[in-house]
Amino acid sequence: MEKNWQIGVVIRATSGFYYVQSGTRQVSCKLRGRLKQTRYSLCVGDRVTFSPAGTDEGNIEEVLPRDSFLKRPEVANVDQAILTFAASQPQINWGLLDRFLVLAEYSGIPAVICVNKLDMADPEELKPFLDVYERIGYPVLQVSAKTGDGIHNLQQRLYGKISVFAGPSGVGKSSLLNAIEPGLQLVTGELSQKIGRGKHTTRCAELLPLAGGGYVVDTPGFSLTEFVEMPPEQLRFQYREFRDKLAECRFSSCLHYREPQCAVKLAVQNDEIAAWRYESYLELLTEIQLTQQRRF
């Protein structure tokens, strides 16, 4: 590295400028021409070296290797994904939660399930579902941005890490971040009474520093995830409770769909695997197969 080059983390990108946090400084940087020619997709969370070009300006010279990469939303070097859903208004879409979990698994990013608006629901109604996710190894946090319940536990999971918040609109991600770090003062939106979904109050991904150390990424809300690049045979490995059964299937290439002597289907029949998890798997498998057929 050149003598005057410095290292930082991209915390925001907009209109061709990359805002890099380096120590206590925030530097507005442009991408060097040679990096533009490579069409490298620089995104929030990338570690970079830059050469100063003024008090708070610079040029990004190189992008350091990534430890992880989440494709949607595009965030690099994430330590964990906080998959945020609401206990009520809107009701939890378990199939959509499974899609987010698959996306996290496929990206190699540990996932934490966070259920907000606990003050608006009966925890006992959620318990049978959340217990299943805990049994297969996902941490589950139940919180309320409104009352403050569970916020401390969530804070402790965030400190010292780069965490991405992701989930559908209207679940209170921005409200949660404001409760965790009041100084952020993120814009929040009321849930649309007409369509039952939240307004997209976050406009672009941004890495936000926490007083206790670490960063969080507040991202635009979205309700659909696509798996265009995932081969159908890879999907079975993204469901944790399926993995222990793979060796018991008659065929090593078993997709747990129409094949005979399938250990996963037997486990569903014996209530060892939750039926709704298996149904979400079949729905996603069909979607991926149809996508692959259209591509080829």
- Answer with the residue of higher pLDDT: 174 or 84: 84
pLDDT, tens digit (0-9, with 9 covering 90-100), for 129-168 = 999 999 999 999 999 999 999 999 999 999 989 998 888 8
pLDDT, tens digit (0-9, with 9 covering 90-100), for 47-79 = 999 998 888 899 999 999 999 887 766 788 989
Domain ranges of the chain: 6-63, 69-218, 232-295
Domain 232-295: CATH superfamily, name plus number: Probable gtpase engc; domain 3 (1.10.40.50)
What confidence tier does 207 reach under pLDDT thresholds 50, 70, 90? confident
Which pLDDT score is estimated for 225? 54
pLDDT, tens digit (0-9, with 9 covering 90-100), for 92-110 = 899 999 999 998 898 888 9
Are 6-63 and 232-295 equal in CATH topology? no
Which pLDDT score is estimated for 43? 86
Handedness of CA 226, 100, 145, 155 (dihedral sign): negative
Class of domain 6-63: mainly beta
Q: Quick one: how far is CA 173 from the chain centroid?
A: 12
Report the distance separating Cα 90 and Cα 93, nearest Å: 8
Query: In the CATH hierarchy, which fold is given to the domain comprising 69-218?
Result: Rossmann fold (3.40.50)
- How many CB atoms neighbour CB 229 within 10 A? 12
CA atoms within 13 A on the CB side of 266: 11
What confidence tier does 182 reach under pLDDT thresholds 50, 70, 90? confident
Mean pLDDT check: name the lowest of 76-80, 242-246, 292-296: 292-296
Could you give the 3-state DSSP secondary structure of residue 178? Answer: helix
